[in-house]
Structure 1
Amino acid sequence: MLVSPQGFSTVHISDKEFSQKSFTVTPVAFLIDVVAKTKIVASAMLDKVVEGIQKKFGFLVPVIAIVSESCGHKQVLFERGALDYVSYPLIPAELLHRLNCLKHILAFKQGSGLNSKDLGNKKARLANDAVEILRARLSENITLAELSAALSTNRNTLAEAFKTHMNTSIFNWLREQRMLKGAQLLAETSLSVVQIAERVGYTDGNNFSTAFKKQFNMSPLNYRKARQRSATALYGKNSINRLSL
């Protein structure tokens, strides 16, 4: 597995084995491969996985779907309970970044006893509402004051709630999400670095490139080339597989 040398142990489990599998520790995440699955089959798989996880752990351990780069129906992944997705062929740095983020969140949940019932907590709802707004306005330079006003609260209360329930600051989280969205656009579109920077809230392409290199240890253009090389190695130069979810 790509992330095994980076401190993550991995186990392959079929859907038939999952119900009988015992876990000595809570997994950081479940990766579900729906690359070659139809929309209907993928939806059913996600429904089954999410239901099984809820029953086994009492809360939803993050699910990351592995999809083809040309997948045109990613929205269904989120509707069925997936937290995130990664495109195949996988880039180790991208997957490792997602898992490390989830690892920090999981460590906090285990230490605080946070579970699905806690989502009724007012501060947890506040943090979740902030996440929804920030995701929808990723290209905007929204200030903490504007975000607080949109949520009818004050900056200190919002910052505290977000730190408590997301285990990071608002703007650290926002920066990470912008980098992940930027990586997705580099892999799946032909947009220029400047255009991608604008779409993820950077008015200066150089600032975006600097932040991206710090996050992924490679420049945006080198990241795009790495994804293209991986796809070419897997599918051939002129026959990139166009699988649809």
Structure 2
Amino acid sequence: MQNNFNNAPHILVIDDSPEELRGIVGLLRQQPWRLSMASDPRQGYQRALALKPDLILLDVRMPGMDGFAVCRMLRESPATHRTPVIFLTSAGAVEERVEGLTLGSVDYVLKSCDPQEILARIRIHLQLSWREPASGSRSDDVEPANQDEVSLRVAMRLIAQNLADMPSLAEIACKAGTHEKRLSSIFREHLGSTVFAYIREVRIRRGQELLSDSAMDIQDIADQVGFRSACNFTTAFRERVGMTPSQYRQQAHMKDGQHPAGGRQE
């Protein structure tokens, strides 16, 4: 690591109970690193955008917005999408650990872990990420995205990943770091659409892809994209595309010079 303090790695800790981290914070202050703290998740997210730290220690269970929502927003923000995130938390359930890693964190550590081990893990991830700026990835001219745009990106990604079992609007909003009314306004302002109209549009587009690229039957495609039945899917598809799923598949395969795929139709 470099000796110049201004060029030293910068660690940001986001935790609403900093008193639980006395051991590791004490060790961090002994290192030739810069250290910043935030006890509120929204404040922590804003500090991450402003400070562009080299690594973030992030709690999960926090009031107002949990660490998973913060991580989603960090991953969708141009200024922080490459920043290593280590969850340091008491949330030790298997499903929580899996979700944290699935969101793109580089590590998931329980607060009961020995502070020296936590420090060792931080060192490893700093060594892996501490590189000269590449393609301006750490430069100050990275175009910032405002919070509404970030929440929109998070919501759009969540929708695309959960077509078959769509969360409620309240759950999508919470995971995107906002609330129902604000998320609805964001969709109208940026996409000119309601959240539900957008979801239906994405479902139909995904249905078109599956009809063109797979031999799945209509019922299976309906299940895959979140319709209750092949009949409901067919009705919505005809209203949007102007033809039935079977007709669309046949037309797509004729354009590709293929024979129409088999399978049960609507």
Scaled by the length of structure 2, what TM-score is found? Answer: 0.42
**Of Structure 1 and Structure 2, which has the larger fraction of its residues in helix?**
1
